[in-house]
Amino acid sequence: MNVLQQIDWKAFGSVIVAFGAAATAQFIAHIFSQRREDIKYKKECLQNLYSPVIIKINKYLFEECIKESTIKQQGLEFYNNEFKNPSDNPHNTFKDILETVGSNLKYARPDIIMKYHDLVSMPIENQNEKDWFVTSKIDFCNVFLLDYLHLSKELKVNSSKINTNVEKSLVFTQLHQLLENTGHLYSQESLIRHYLEITKLRQYLNRIMKLNRKFEKNFSLLNKEKAEKIYKQIGESFRSDVAEWWFSNLSRPDGFLDEAIDNLKREMNF
């Protein structure tokens, strides 16, 4: 008799179905288990690293603003005499930020880890170049704030108070980045002195972030023109003394970028 005819196909089919169902159930259970572990890990990231540091970033930017604006108006000696409390020193606050991040690197995303190592390995002589070093610290804050927003959206964490505070700082760090992307380095260097005014510009945040994402891919004259329109609108929303500073700095030659744009225009036969 043919072997195939001797097989009880109904029983065989039942075994296959049962085996397939068990394997599918095990696979689905594994996926859900991984998802639970992933969510648990991300919540730990938020609790142990991102939430504590976000508060410190807001404090750091405020203190850096007070320091730079006070030194500009009253001088370094006046600032040193009036702000003797170490807890009000932006240098100490940022040092605390780096220590917190360093103790919780296992919760940090790769871009944060890279920025962290760049800062802690920076030679002392470079740290003494104030404007450049402050720019590096603000850049770190910008990346951290973006990562926090991304993580909180993934976890569907919705706190209007926290989001408002994050967006206030983020509109500053994003505008700081956009000024660099468009070559307005004079405005970028002095922007921290006007931090409190910049935090009122949350209505421009999405447009600024969108342009920065485009500049990350490539520089284009069209995107620079869009940025200039935003700059004009921002300047018109400032009170008179801040608007004067804003437009005055924007009108200053941008050096290397202006030369690069002129070359690009010639290549495109503008």
- pLDDT tens digits, 180-206: 999 999 899 999 999 999 999 999 999
pLDDT exceeds 90 at position 85: no
Residues 6+ apart with CB under 8 A from 175: 191, 198, 201, 204, 208, 234
Distances, alpha carbon 122 to alpha carbons 142, 144, 148, 248, in Å? 19, 19, 25, 33
- So what's the pLDDT on residue 87? 85
Question: Is residue 170 within 8 Å of residue 146, measured between CB atoms?
Answer: yes
CA dist., res. 135 & res. 131, Å (int):
6
Does the pTM exceed 0.95? no
**DSSP category for residue 191:** G
Count of beta carbons in the 10 Å neighbourhood of residue 29: 10
Residues 6+ apart with CB under 8 A from 268: none
Give the residue extent of every domain in the chain. Answer: 45-267
Q: What is the mean pLDDT of the chain?
A: 84
- So what's the pLDDT on residue 108? 94
pLDDT exceeds 70 at position 91: yes
Question: Is residue 41 within 8 Å of residue 53, measured between CB atoms?
Answer: no
pLDDT exceeds 80 at position 4: no
CA atoms within 13 A on the CB side of 152: 19
Question: Is residue 105 within 8 Å of residue 97, measured between CB atoms?
Answer: no
Instruction: Point out the least confidently predicted range of 71-80, 89-98, 252-261.
Output: 252-261
